[in-house]
């Protein structure tokens, strides 16, 4: 069975490098050359396994065997400075959230617009920049950031990966130090914390002779947030209906998050809170 071949761009993605840098390196190494604005294989490139592939949509392009990623030449790829967008693409999170996580670690801080590098951020390889068009400051990072244990820890927190399913009956700590009972609650608690939103967890509301406990409560907006699982039993569904009735009866706004939307908590909560007059930056 012949080895799978992938494009130069796909190869760069597997190497977690910028495709532009890989094209430059392969050209400098004599593997391919640009002729009339199109890349062509050299004899050296063919020797290293490069082939041409014709795609009905993208036309002809150069492809490489996946094993070429272990070639010594590719170790010469520079550590490309990574923007928040680049980092977000690698960990599947939006750039805005990446900047908030980096700020939570104390590596950058908010400016009037944009982000300023802190001494601690500089110590781990961060570099300060400013947009040529707008002057808005921003920071870039070395690829070693992706292996930084403090960064990995905060990513695991915001995605809920740090919640130990084997101990799901035991409370787990969040970034704020609050204790949570589920992975879903951990994600929401961490998101509210890094977004800088004042909130309480497991907050008891009293009205008339009734009382209920909201999973989260935002006092300034008087908004309740509840998190519901995908396989809630009859008792939980009854609790859900009781909460909805209480909120409507006593005039509390409320947001419900479900298992299928928890992965998009940044988009979902930011959009819903904006509808209540709270903009999350």
Q: Where are the domains of the chain?
A: 5-76, 84-155, 160-275
3-state secondary structure of 154: helix
Q: 9: which residues sit within 8 A by CB, 6+ positions away?
A: 19
Predicted pLDDT of residue 200: 95
Q: For position 166, what pLDDT does the model report?
A: 42
Give the fold, CATH level 3, of 160-275.
Endonuclease; Chain A (3.40.960)
CB-based contacts of 243, cutoff 8 Å, min separation 6 = 212, 214, 224, 226, 254
C-alpha pair distances (Å), 127 with each of 76, 107, 278: 21, 11, 31
Q: Which residues, other chains included, contact 272 with Cβ-Cβ below 8 Å and sequence gap of 6+?
A: 255
pLDDT of the residue at 249: 95
Residues making up the chain, counted from first to last: 281
Indicate whether this model's pTM tops 0.85. no
Burial of residue 160, with CB atoms counted within 10 A of its CB: 0-12 exposed, 13-18 middle, 19 or more buried = buried
> Is there a contact between 75 and 25 (Cβ–Cβ < 8 Å)?
no
What pLDDT score does 79 carry?
67
Tens digits of pLDDT across the chain (281 residues): 568 899 999 998 888 777 877 998 999 999 999 998 889 999 999 999 999 999 888 889 999 999 999 999 998 887 668 899 889 988 889 999 999 999 999 999 999 899 999 999 999 999 999 988 889 999 999 888 988 999 999 999 999 988 865 455 555 689 998 888 888 999 999 999 999 999 999 999 999 899 999 999 999 999 999 998 777 788 888 999 999 999 999 999 999 998 888 888 999 999 999 999 998 87
């Amino acid at each position: 069975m012949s080895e799978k071949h992938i494009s130069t761009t796909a190869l760069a993605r597997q190497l977690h490098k910028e495709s532009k840098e890989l094209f430059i390196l392969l050209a400098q190494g004599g593997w391919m050359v640009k002729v009339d604005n199109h890349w062509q294989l050299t004899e050296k490139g063919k020797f290293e396994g490069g082939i041409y592939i014709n795609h009905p949509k993208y036309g002809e392009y150069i492809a490489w065997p996946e094993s070429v990623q272990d070639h010594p030449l590719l170790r010469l790829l520079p550590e490309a400075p990574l923007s928040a967008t680049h980092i977000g693409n690698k960990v599947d999170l939006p750039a805005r959230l990446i900047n908030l996580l980096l700020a939570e670690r104390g590596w950058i801080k908010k400016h009037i617009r944009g982000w300023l590098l802190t001494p601690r951020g500089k110590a781990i390889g961060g570099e300060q920049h400013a947009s040529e068009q707008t002057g808005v400051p921003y920071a870039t990072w070395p690829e070693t950031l992706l292996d930084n244990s403090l960064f990995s820890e905060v990513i695991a927190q915001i995605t809920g990966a740090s919640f130990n399913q084997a101990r799901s009956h035991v409370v787990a700590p969040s970034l704020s130090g609050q204790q949570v009972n589920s992975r879903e609650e951990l994600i929401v608690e961490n998101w509210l914390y890094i977004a800088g939103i004042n909130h309480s967890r497991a907050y008891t509301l009293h009205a008339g002779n009734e009382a209920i406990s909201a999973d989260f409560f935002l006092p300034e907006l008087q908004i309740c947030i509840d998190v519901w699982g995908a396989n809630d039993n009859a008792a939980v569904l009854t609790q859900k209906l009781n909460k909805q009735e209480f909120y409507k009866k006593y005039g509390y706004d409320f947001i419900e998050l479900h298992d299928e939307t928890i992965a998009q908590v940044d988009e979902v909560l930011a959009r819903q809170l904006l509808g209540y007059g709270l903009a999350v930056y």
